[in-house]
Chain A
C-alpha cells in the first residue's frame, strides 16, 4: 500500500490542515493531541470532506486532485472507515450490519471470508443481536468487522480504543493485532496513546496543529523526537535545557544544570550550543551503592524523591542535579529497597541521551 498526500490543505477552525506525506507500511499511526486535525485528515482521505487543494493517491489510483477536478466518490474509493463513534446502523442486527458492505460486492480478489472474520473477532454469538444491546467492546469489534467485510484497500480507524477503559483496551488490542496479521489490510490508525502506537504500528506520522512534525518508524520517532513539541507529546519523561560544551567526534558533552552528560552524535549542526536533552524513563537504569563498572557513559549519583505505581511498573523520581524519572519493575524496586531518601546511581547510555535543537 502506498498513500500519497501532496500539498493537501483543508481549512479548519483554528488552523489549516496542511499535509505532505507518503505513507507505506501495514499499520501507520497518526499521532497527535486532540484537536490537531487527525480526524479531519482521515475524513479527507475517505472522501467525507473535500480538501481545498492538493492530491491524494492510493496505490495507482488518484482519489482527489483538486487542481484537475478529480474527486472519486466515497463509495468507489475502497477505503474502510471506522469513526470514533462507530456509527453502527441502529435499526439493523449485528449480522445485517456486517453484511451491509458485502452486499454491494467489491472486487473478487479482495473479498474477505465472512466466517473467518466472524471467527477472528469472535462475533459468532452476537450475530442475531441488535446493535443497541452490545457492550462497548463488542460494538468496536462489530464495527471493525463490518469495515473489513467490504474488502477495503485501506482501513481508517479513528481512535478505536479511546472510549474504552484500560481493561477493555487490553482486551481489544489483540483483536486489532490479529486483524493486522491475518488479513493484511493496511491501516491508518489515529490515536494519541503511546501504548497503542507501540503495540500496533510500524510507522507513525506526528500531527500538531494541522502540520506534520515528524514521520518515521515508531521506534525512531520515540527515541529521536524531531522537536520539543513531539517530545512533549510522546510524553518523554525527562526534558531539560542543556548546553553543548564539546563535540568530540561521535560523542557530545552537554551540561544540564550542574550535571555533565555524554550523548551519542545526533547529526546536530556543527556550532550548536543550546539544546533540549530528552531521556526516556525506561532507558534509565538504577544501581545501589558500590563501584560496579559499567558500559554506560553517564553515571549520575542521585537521591530517590518518590516512588509511585504506574500501571504494571513503578515510576521513580530521582534528583541528580536535575529531576530524572526512571521506570522500574515492582520487583526491582523491592530488591533495591527504594524509598524517598535512598542514595542510588542512575545509569544512562550515551545513545539514550537524545538532543533536540533549542
Chain B
C-alpha cells in the first residue's frame, strides 16, 4: 500500500473509533430511557433517532451541512464564540459518522437492556441500591454483550459511511478523505488499482466487525 492509502486507512479507523466512543455514553443513556422509562414524546424521539437509518445519507449530510455551516445556527454559534469550524474539517467527518451510526447503537443497546429482567433491578432496590448502583451493577453488566454488539455494529457502519460524509466534510485528500470517499475518488481518477486496495481493506474490516457482532449476539441469546 502506498503512503496515501495507509493514511486513508489509519484516518478512517481513527475517525470510526472516535465517533463510536463519542456516541457510546449518550447512546446507552438514551437506550436506557427508551427501554425503562415511559415519558411524553418518547415516540417522537424514537422516530428521530431512527431517521438516519431510512433517510438518504446525502440528505442527512445536507441537514448537517446547513446546521453546522458558518451561517447555520450551530456552526455560527461555534465559530463566533470559539472560532471553531466544523464543515469540511475532520470534525465534520467524526460528526457525520457519529450521526449515521447512532441509531444502530441505540436500537441494539435498547433491546439488550429490555432483555434484562426488571425483577432483578427491583430486587436490587429492595436491597437498598440506588438508581446508579442498579444501573452499573445489574443492568449494564447483564446488557453488556448486547451493548458491545451494538457498538461493533455502529463502528462498522461508521467505517463504510459515504453520503453524509461527502456532503458535510467533502473529500479533501489528506484531510477528510475516508475509505469510502477515497474509493470514489480513485475510481473517478481512473486509478482502479488503488480503489481495489482500499476496497479490500474495507471488506476485511467490515467482515471482522460483522463477524464479531454475530458472535456476540449469539452468546447474548444463551
**How many whole Å from A86's CB to the nearest CB in chain B?**
9
Report Cα–Cα, A100/B127, bound state, in Å: 7
Chain B residue, CB-CB nearest to A81: B126
Pick from B43-51, B116-124, B156-164, B174-182 the stretch touching chain A: B116-124
**Contact (Cβ within 8 A) B127 A87:** no
B130 at the interface (CB under 8 A from A): yes
Chain A residue, CB-CB nearest to B122: A48
Q: Please name 10 further chain A to chain B contacts, defined as beta carbons within 8 Å, in addition to the given A81-B126, A106-B128, A150-B127, sorted by A numbering.
A: A75-B128, A75-B129, A79-B126, A85-B119, A87-B122, A89-B123, A89-B138, A100-B127, A101-B128, A147-B127
Known interface pairs A89-B138, A90-B142, A91-B141. Does A100 touch B129 (Cβ–Cβ under 8 Å)? yes
**Contact (Cβ within 8 A) A83 B119:** yes
**Contact (Cβ within 8 A) B123 A87:** yes
Report Cα–Cα, A254/B128, bound state, in Å: 57
Interchain Cβ contacts under 8 Å between A and B, 8 examples: A74-B125, A74-B126, A87-B117, A89-B120, A91-B142, A100-B137, A101-B126, A101-B127
Chain B's interface size range is: 10 to 19
Report Cα–Cα, A91/B145, bound state, in Å: 12
**Nearest 9 A-B pairs (CB), nearest first?**
A101-B127, A104-B128, A74-B125, A87-B123, A81-B126, A75-B125, A87-B119, A150-B127, A75-B128
Chain A neighbourhood of B125, CB < 8 A: 73-75
Chain B neighbourhood of A275, CB < 8 A: none
**Contact (Cβ within 8 A) B122 A74:** yes
Residues of A within 8 A of B (CB): 46, 48, 73-75, 77, 79-81, 83, 85, 87, 89-91, 100-101, 104-106, 146-147, 150
Residues of B within 8 A of A (CB): 117, 119-120, 122-130, 133, 137-138, 141-142
How many Cβ-Cβ contacts under 8 Å join chain A to chain B? 57
**Contact (Cβ within 8 A) B127 A146:** yes
Report Cα–Cα, A74/B133, bound state, in Å: 14
Chain A neighbourhood of B124, CB < 8 A: 89, 100
Chain A neighbourhood of B123, CB < 8 A: 81, 83, 87, 89
Report Cα–Cα, A234/B83, bound state, in Å: 80
Chain A neighbourhood of B142, CB < 8 A: 90-91
Chain B residue, CB-CB nearest to A146: B127
Report Cα–Cα, A146/B117, bound state, in Å: 18
Report Cα–Cα, A89/B137, bound state, in Å: 10
Chain B neighbourhood of A83, CB < 8 A: 119, 123
Chain A neighbourhood of B117, CB < 8 A: 87
**Contact (Cβ within 8 A) A105 B127:** no
Chain B residue, CB-CB nearest to A90: B142
Chain B neighbourhood of A91, CB < 8 A: 141-142
Report Cα–Cα, A75/B142, bound state, in Å: 21
**Contact (Cβ within 8 A) A150 B128:** yes
**How many whole Å from A187's CB to the nearest CB in chain B?**
14
Chain B neighbourhood of A48, CB < 8 A: 122, 126
Chain A residue, CB-CB nearest to B134: A75
Chain B residue, CB-CB nearest to A151: B128
Chain B residue, CB-CB nearest to A49: B122
Chain B residue, CB-CB nearest to A150: B127
Chain B neighbourhood of A79, CB < 8 A: 126
